[in-house]
Amino acid sequence: MMMETDGGNLPSGSPWRRPHQGAGFHRLMIAFSLILLTSCDQGTTGQTLIEYEIAGAPLADGTFTDASGWEITLTRAWLTFGPLVFCSHQPTFLKSDSLTDCGQVMGEFGQAVTWDLLAGADAVLGRLTGFTGQVHSVQYDFGWNWPSGQAAPLWKGEAGAVSLVLEGRAEKAGITHTFEFALDARPRGAALYTVAGLPADGDQSTDTARVTLSVSSQKMLRYVDFDLLPEQAEPLTVTPGSALENQLRLGLTTGTPVSFVWSQKP
């Protein structure tokens, strides 16, 4: 599975606050579809244009024990998420299958929004526009976007923000590591999302009210080996190009650290 493949508003109190054939292509396609649907809001395939909330849930694992026995406690956790597209393409992971293939764009969230993962309640990140039908995969970024034709990725979040901030401490056998991890997760190439080909299962209908994103800190930190990190008085930080940076990137962009749950109107 290839997981490596305009900024929204931050919640209040944020210390800081990007779609591809990129995002612009998907927006164009949805805009074109809107023109086709203006008279009756329904396409020739029977799909209906819909819009619903996208929200971010607080961490369920702000404190946990990792596989090596380190007790991790997070005191600050911010994630910049987006842009995002929902796709009809169902990944097969065969050599002939392109994990960057979206098929039909079933939905799009064209912003990059940061939310506090330690907040006590869901944060409404914005609204997503799409079509009724089955979502089989997702593609998304963490604030950075690399449109086709651009020489380098562009930051679509707020100035001074980064993709991920995790701060806290790791404790084991009388040793305490304090850490202040800040990571920028950029796409690996033009017209590619940072995460692509991630399977999803969402049945979008006219009764769909919300999709909720949940993030796992255990998965984000699963490649960080605190046994190998130096003991020091100052908090541990991320150096660009370091093994620690790569471990955090792998944790954020591979597997399923971000999950999606669709809910319907009551």
Query: For 100-154, how does the pLDDT look when each residue is reduced to its tens digit (9 = 90+)?
Result: 899 999 999 999 999 999 999 999 999 999 999 999 999 999 999 998 999 999 9
- Would 193 be classed as within a structural domain? yes
- Would 136 be classed as within a structural domain? yes
Q: How many CA atoms lie within 13 A of 18 on its CB side?
A: 31
Q: How many domains does the chain have?
A: 1
Bridge partner list, 139? 85
For residue 41 the two structure tokens come to 């809001």
The reported pTM is 0.82
Q: What is the DSSP letter of 152?
A: S
Residue 22 to residues 18, 39, 54, 98, Cα–Cα distance (Å): 10, 28, 21, 16
* Phi, psi (deg, nearest 5) at residue 109: -115, 105
The predicted-structure confidence for 147-194, as pLDDT tens digits, reads as follows 899 999 999 888 789 999 999 999 999 999 999 999 999 999 999 999
Rounded to whole angstroms, how far apart are CA atoms 243 and 103? Answer: 35
Rounded to whole angstroms, how far apart are CA atoms 31 and 181? Answer: 39
Where is 30: in which H helix or E strand?
helix 23-37
Question: What domain range includes position 132?
Answer: 23-264
Residue 131: CB atoms within 10 A of its CB come to 23
Rounded to whole angstroms, how far apart are CA atoms 106 and 26? Answer: 10
The rounded Cα 171 to chain-centroid distance in angstroms is: 28
The predicted-structure confidence for 199-249, as pLDDT tens digits, reads as follows 999 999 999 999 999 999 999 999 999 999 999 999 999 999 999 999 999
- Would 236 be classed as within a structural domain? yes
